[in-house]
Amino acid sequence: MSQLVTCDIFCTVVDNYGDIGVCWRLAKQLSNEHGMAVRLWVDDLVSLRRLCPEINPELPAQHSHGVKIRHWSPAFPETAPAHLVIEAFACELPQSYVAAMAAQQHKPVWINLEYLSAEDWVADCHGLPSPHPSLPLVKYFFFPGFTSQTGGLLLERDLLARRDAFQNDAQAITAYWQSLDMPPPKPDETRVSLFCYENPVLPELFTAWAAGSAPVCCLVPEGRTLPQVAAFFGQTQAAPGDAFQRGNLEVRVLPFVEQERYDELLWACDINFVRGEDSCVRAQWAGKPFIWHIYRQHDGVHMQKLRAFMNLYCASLPPDAAQALHRLWEDWNGEPASGQAAPASPGQAWNDFQSHRSMLRQHAYSWAQQLSASNLALKLLDFFREVGKIRAS
Ligand code: TRH
């Protein structure tokens, strides 16, 4: 791009780290890979600091990783709007900023970046315009997704090459385990990362691992799951650095790492349990089998979302491997697999899943290759140029 393109990303943190996780990743990518001048407005700098420890939550404005970060407080300053304005997850833009957008001769391209879903309707809604009811502005819905008819997924330019280099370098992997103060996996061990919400079936899975015939080493990043982990081992609390053993199960608690380092954990483990949105996408890029703990919604629509994704992900798998995966995912999310009366039982589902491991490993790798054709940042920039051209003509 010849002219310096400016971009404002607005993010409110609802809970957890997914909203800011996605915005932070996108902000870095637009700046570092596409040379845009990016400003990220976020209402909760403490959450951003978890992903990027150099952030100072006290500062109203600061720079990190090529991005200008502004604390989005209720008293919004007078601000010249950017060329590209991204409202993440339908957070409401400050009125004064919207008025300033409307006053521009060349109106900014205004995008509402939506949550990720594999449901069919996403392709129909991706890119739809929504004219402002009273101002000369149009907002466009941009839906991330898994097919070419959607907005694609966040993927850094060099991510898959870095992943391959890491996964093919035994020394790098050993050094990684050493950096966590851990030995390399034993030959018959399954090493698992576990990032999830509070989950009533977690003790059952732990029990199955403890009683299993081969060792399982489970790495749990610091977070909401720790009280359950502690309770399983008869402790009152668990903290980073703690290690617990029962039967063939070893659980180690890890610190919550900087966002850029979380990928290595996913690349190094055999199987990853992930949650929400962003870690689920990262697990897919890792090219390893993964189990998704979906973010629960009150009206239960999360299970439709989960099943839509499962159907897409499993479409090219042999039926028995697909069934094993469906069962474990559904049981982990507290629902018995569709059409089955038995209660959710991830312990049993695990054994079946394990018997398809090598097939699921190959599938996970080729799935990542296939998905990489649909890159969100590139699609967003194409969309921005297209809309900009229509406006100018
Ligand atoms: O934190 P989440 O549960 O976020 C959720 C979802 O995004 C959900 O859709 C949304 O509605 C809700 O928030 C409000 O899970 P998610 O999306 O995986 O985000 C976690 C982020 O934390 C991700 O960017 C990866 C990052 N992370 C680290 O940086 N270091 C770590 O050690 C770990 C475990 C995660």
Residues 260, 169: contact at Cβ < 8 Å?
no
What's the rounded Cα separation, in Å, for the pair 293 and 334?
A: 9
* CB 19 less than 6 A from any atom of ligand 1: yes
What's the rounded Cα separation, in Å, for the pair 113 and 129?
A: 12
Question: What distance in angstroms lies between residue 48's CA and the mean position of ligand 1's atoms?
Answer: 11
Nearest to 83 by CA among 42, 36, 129, 130: 36
Tens place of pLDDT for every residue, the chain, 393 residues?
Answer: 457 999 999 999 998 999 999 999 999 999 999 999 999 999 999 999 999 999 999 999 999 999 999 999 999 999 999 999 999 999 999 999 999 999 999 999 999 999 999 999 999 999 999 999 999 999 999 999 999 999 999 999 999 999 999 999 999 999 999 999 999 999 999 999 999 999 999 999 999 999 999 999 999 999 999 999 999 999 999 999 999 999 999 999 999 999 999 999 999 999 999 999 999 999 999 999 999 999 998 888 999 999 999 999 999 999 999 999 999 999 999 875 555 555 668 888 999 999 999 999 999 999 999 999 999 999 999 999 999 876 666
Nearest to 115 by CA among 342, 369, 257, 308: 308
Residue 25 Cα: closest atom of ligand 1? 24
Active site residue 277: yes
State the pLDDT at residue 336: 58
Catalytic residue among 114, 204, 277, 278: 277
* CB 295 less than 6 A from any atom of ligand 1: yes
The pTM for the full model equals: 0.96
Read off the pLDDT of residues 253-272 as tens digits, 9 standing for 90 and up.
Answer: 999 999 999 999 999 999 99
Which residues sit opposite 159 in a β-bridge? none
Q: Which CATH architecture has domain 159-371?
A: 3-Layer(aba) Sandwich (3.40)
Which residues sit opposite 190 in a β-bridge? 216
With residue 39 as reference, give the H or E element that holds it.
strand 37-42
Question: What distance in angstroms lies between residue 273's CA and the mean position of ligand 1's atoms?
Answer: 12
* CB 225 less than 6 A from any atom of ligand 1: no
Active site residue 299: no
Question: What distance in angstroms lies between residue 280's CA and the mean position of ligand 1's atoms?
Answer: 9
Residues 84, 384: contact at Cβ < 8 Å?
yes
Residues 6+ apart with CB under 8 A from 13: 19, 20, 42, 43, 44, 47
